[in-house]
Structure 1
Amino acid sequence: MENHTVIAERHAHHHHGGMDGFHDYTEAVNAYRKTFPDKQQVLEQTPDPAVREMLLHLQEMGVETVFDRFDSQQPQCPFGIAGVCCKNCYMGPCKITKKCPRGVCGADADVIVARNMLRAAAAGAAAHGARGRESMLALKKAGEGTLDMPIEGEAKIRAVCDIYGIDTEGKSINRLAAEVADILLEDLSRTVPGAHRTLTSFAPKERQEVWAALDILPISVYHEVFEGLHRTSTGTDGDWRNIMQQFLRVGLAFAWTSCLGSSIAMDSLYGLPKRSRSKMNLGALKKGFVNIAVHGHSPLLVSEIVRTGQSEAFQEKAKAAGANGIQFYGICCSGLSAMYRYGGVIPLSNAVGSELVLGTGALDLWVADVQDVFPSIMEVAKCFKTTVVTTSDSARLPGAEHYAFDHHHSNLEEIHGLAVKIVTRGIESFQARREVPVFIPKYEVEAEIGFSAEFAAEHFGGLETIAEALKDGRILGIVNLVGCSNPRIIYEKAVAEVADVLLKNNVLILTNGCASFPLMKLGYCSVKALEQTGEGLRNFLTDVPPVWQMGECLDNARASALFSGVAAKSGHAIKDLPYAFVSPEWSNEKGICASLAFRLLGMNSYHSVYAPTQGSEKVSKFLEHGTKELLGSEMIVDVDHMALAERIENDLKEKRKALGWDS
């Protein structure tokens, strides 16, 4: 077996120039910065008129938003953009220039960029893993009977037990739930080296062989994150190739535990999503109700809050306080998770637009848990007297009230009492802020939600039906169009316009998380959007939207399940099929991991935001094209999202051509 470092070196396209191999990245970074839009361009070009109205409204009021702060940060630091700033010790911070091609310790640009990427991936794996752990713990405690919470995903648990090889004979669903939770928690935190149960049970065998040959099979999320931080500490790993090997290991740990493992725990607790409809966008805000927004990524307490607030007893309490009832809204992924599991939770915005939602003045209570909750929401909430409650020891906000699980999760059994306190605060806040003026842009649509591989198999009579449509060209390809929003790109424009190109060319689109908000708000997640597709996709889907909203960002696991299932029915490896991962506006560490997870499956990823690697030609080339022979995939970046869409279309056609399929 060829040594992994030799493989990496062969595909790194070593380039030596200048002093000690210094690569002058300044021209590329300066050209990139010139593509960043300002707030005025956002106002002129963002595709959602409700966003435009709110931006103008808050501007007139003198309320600062993310777009104002992005403008004030310009020009952003070229060393940070290029990834050549090192702060891992206190002999620095060091930045790599032509004058100083090495840091104080001797690390060059390649090592510094690689270290920074590994640390970012470790943070992304920890982010999804930490919030997934909460659901895993709850599943275990519910199964063991120490947490009074219904286990609603019996079908999911039994299906997972079959894949894991768990003997189900004579066992209650609670016992099986606890056994599944133990496997998930072990994969999360294993310290004694051993097989990663979820990866070995769920991943395609072809991929497992590839990963084993590259020596990147993970031990556990905890171990790989721990090791990632270890080898990037002062004076440890000085070989950029070895650092990038650990980067790939972290990506696998993220994919099969932080993402899939967390998804299994959630679906086991709450059941699978069901296809349904939901009102969408700011026009769906209701005056006269106790309006409660749930914001973040942890579904555990959110689910209990929604159940409590939707109960007849609390609806009556709200009416006794002068309201028409209690209405829930979703911001970011907590909202999406609640949306497809509980009817009547209206999704409003992704994280970047959260200040705009608060600026309507219509929200009485803002429930914030973890991740993508910007500290700035406190300033906007203060302007409109909205009460903010935090619900996690991991994420506090100065000035917010705190009703939360503790650091040890020793009070999980108090979940109902916490939910009661929080919903009660919503009613009290409604009573205290009746004089606050409300501004609601009149834009709303209806979106279809709740799609999954299980839905597709049932609706189309098996995934082989989709595989046949893919082969005969009614479906040109399937893409997962996801990711965050990023002010380096005009807000939500790239996602919408890339979708336009793909749909016109008969590409079936899967979506989740922040990128799904513009697709829902602008009508893509509706049967009416079939009018925008090519004839082949329209005739195949007939009564199903051409964009399938699969849930929150964790539900990338649903997309990978569909990709894997269709691949199995087609008889081809994932890497050979006309598939793509598309994340035009990604903006954080979880986005790095999500892209990497699909790349490791053998799918190309496409972006309009560069990773911070431009300061190292070696690392950049390895990430973008050097993995082609190793993994069967590339990372393609183009700040012109229309050119990116054209590239995706052409690459899908090339995949079909290689398979001998007539598109």
Structure 2
Amino acid sequence: QKRRGICGATAETIAARNFIRMVAGGAAAHSDHGRGVAELFLAVAKGEAPGYEIKDEQKLLQVALDWGIEIGDRSNNEIATDIGEKALAEFGKQEGELITLRKAPLKRQELWRQQGVAPRGIDREIVEIMHRTHIGVDQDYKNLLKQGVRTSIGDGWGGSMIATELQDILFGTPVPVLGKANLGVLEEDKVNLIIHGHEPLLSEMIVAVAQEPGMIELAKSKGASGINLAGMCCTANEILMRHGVPIAGNFLQQELAIVTGAVDAMV
């Protein structure tokens, strides 16, 4: 007979609860990336975010078609407003399926439905984990792990997919580029700025501002020969694939970049 805790939970149940609570934490953090992008996207569509604009009109129209949004004779901003509102609604949806699941291969969609792991809403599945892992709720480790799978799909094919689609529209769909990587991209005679993090919303503006003649002249007036931008971690990939900005390193190299003494600011 299996040993049980005073609450009646087996070791399998306890392990499953702990594991999927970590899944909930990761999905919440990762999917919130998509929420932030959707909020900015909607603000851009409404003319409330100066400096940002829709750069990939073709991707805008494609996403509208994929999501069942009318195009007709409507302006880009009108279409984008509907896309932004629909994207934000995916987080709080309570029934049905995430609209972005349609991007997955048909066989995969069918499998998710057969197994009952097609997410209803991004936030919905995260809350479900926190509920079912509480004492006195779900004791079946198989059911608990199944909910972990559903939540993970809601992150990857929900929040992350929304972020990908909307970032492409706002900042341009990436194309293959040649780039440089590692700490050797830092330059002794320039102001070295490292852009760090997971979301490209601010980094896109930093790239644009750093290329302005006035900023370059300001750097030269302080004794530098110019401004050198480099990326770190996930944001590095975003600005590499859209602007060719070199990658200084990954998450494990963030402190190493600072201790070189060559970095003037890490943003």
* TM-score range relative to shorter protein: over 0.9
Do 1:183 and 1:197's aligned partners in 2 also have CA atoms closer than 8 Å? no
Alignment-mate amino acid for residue 98 of structure 2: H
Matches of 1:186 and 1:268 in 2, distance apart? 19
- Equivalent position of 1:161 in the other structure: 64
Map 1:38-77 → 2, pairs under 5 A:
none
Once the two structures are superposed, residues 469-493 of structure 1 have per-residue CA deviations (whole angstroms, 9 ceiling, x without a partner) of xxxxxxxxxxxxxxxxxxxxxxxxx
- Equivalent position of 1:363 in the other structure: 263
Once the two structures are superposed, residues 329-377 of structure 1 have per-residue CA deviations (whole angstroms, 9 ceiling, x without a partner) of 111011211122223x21011101222222211101011xxxxxxxxxx
Map 1:139-158 → 2, pairs under 5 A:
139-148=41-50, 149-158=52-61
Count of residues in correspondence between the two structures:
266
Matches of 2:180 and 2:109 in 1, distance apart? 42
Offset of 1:235 from its aligned partner?
2.2
Matches of 2:259 and 2:40 in 1, distance apart? 35
1:242 equivalenced with 2:143 (yes/no): yes
Alignment-mate amino acid for residue 336 of structure 1: N
Map 1:227-266 → 2, pairs under 5 A:
227-266=128-167
Offset of 1:237 from its aligned partner?
1.1
Alignment-mate amino acid for residue 250 of structure 2: N
Matches of 1:283 and 1:262 in 2, distance apart? 31
- Equivalent position of 1:338 in the other structure: 239
- Equivalent position of 1:352 in the other structure: 252
- Equivalent position of 1:648 in the other structure: none
Matches of 1:328 and 1:156 in 2, distance apart? 28
Offset of 1:265 from its aligned partner?
1.4
Structure number with the higher strand fraction is 1
Offset of 1:106 from its aligned partner?
2.4
Once the two structures are superposed, residues 265-286 of structure 1 have per-residue CA deviations (whole angstroms, 9 ceiling, x without a partner) of 1111111112221122222210
Offset of 1:194 from its aligned partner?
2.9
Secondary structure of the structure 2 residue equivalent to 1:327: strand
Offset of 1:287 from its aligned partner?
0.6
Secondary structure of the structure 1 residue equivalent to 2:253: helix
Matches of 1:271 and 1:187 in 2, distance apart? 23
- Equivalent position of 1:488 in the other structure: none
Offset of 1:166 from its aligned partner?
2.1
Secondary structure of the structure 2 residue equivalent to 1:246: helix
Do 2:33 and 2:160's aligned partners in 1 also have CA atoms closer than 8 Å? no
- Equivalent position of 2:103 in the other structure: 202
Offset of 1:136 from its aligned partner?
0.8
Q: 1:130 aligns with which of 32, 37, 50?
A: 32
Offset of 1:208 from its aligned partner?
2.3
Offset of 1:238 from its aligned partner?
0.9
Q: 1:299 aligns with which of 197, 200, 210?
A: 200
Secondary structure of the structure 2 residue equivalent to 1:217: coil
Secondary structure of the structure 2 residue equivalent to 1:277: coil
Larger Rg: 1
Structure number with the higher helix fraction is 2
Alignment-mate amino acid for residue 183 of structure 2: L
TM-score normalized by the length of structure 2? 0.94
Secondary structure of the structure 1 residue equivalent to 2:248: strand
Identity %, equivalent residues: 35
1:321 equivalenced with 2:216 (yes/no): no
Matches of 1:135 and 1:107 in 2, distance apart? 40
Matches of 2:4 and 2:194 in 1, distance apart? 49
Map 1:112-127 → 2, pairs under 5 A:
112-127=14-29
Offset of 1:219 from its aligned partner?
1.2
Matches of 2:144 and 2:64 in 1, distance apart? 36
Secondary structure of the structure 2 residue equivalent to 1:293: strand
TM-score normalized by the length of structure 1? 0.39
Matches of 2:185 and 2:97 in 1, distance apart? 48
- Equivalent position of 1:268 in the other structure: 169
1:214 equivalenced with 2:123 (yes/no): no
Matches of 1:202 and 1:211 in 2, distance apart? 13
Q: Which blocks of at least 5 consecutive residues in structure 1 are unaligned?
A: 1-19, 22-100, 368-663
Offset of 1:163 from its aligned partner?
1.9
Offset of 1:252 from its aligned partner?
1.7
Secondary structure of the structure 2 residue equivalent to 1:233: coil
Alignment-mate amino acid for residue 216 of structure 1: V
Matches of 1:117 and 1:289 in 2, distance apart? 46
Do 1:156 and 1:267's aligned partners in 2 also have CA atoms closer than 8 Å? yes
Once the two structures are superposed, residues 201-229 of structure 1 have per-residue CA deviations (whole angstroms, 9 ceiling, x without a partner) of 32233222222222222111100001111
Alignment-mate amino acid for residue 180 of structure 2: K
Which protein, 1 or 2, shows the higher relative CO under an 8 Å CA cutoff with sep ≥ 6?
2
Offset of 1:300 from its aligned partner?
0.5
Matches of 2:152 and 2:185 in 1, distance apart? 38
Secondary structure of the structure 1 residue equivalent to 2:180: strand
Matches of 1:322 and 1:256 in 2, distance apart? 48
Matches of 2:109 and 2:258 in 1, distance apart? 46
Do 2:185 and 2:230's aligned partners in 1 also have CA atoms closer than 8 Å? no
Map 1:199-598 → 2, pairs under 5 A:
199=101, 201-343=102-244, 345-367=245-267
Alignment-mate amino acid for residue 67 of structure 2: Y
- Equivalent position of 1:627 in the other structure: none
1:177 equivalenced with 2:77 (yes/no): no
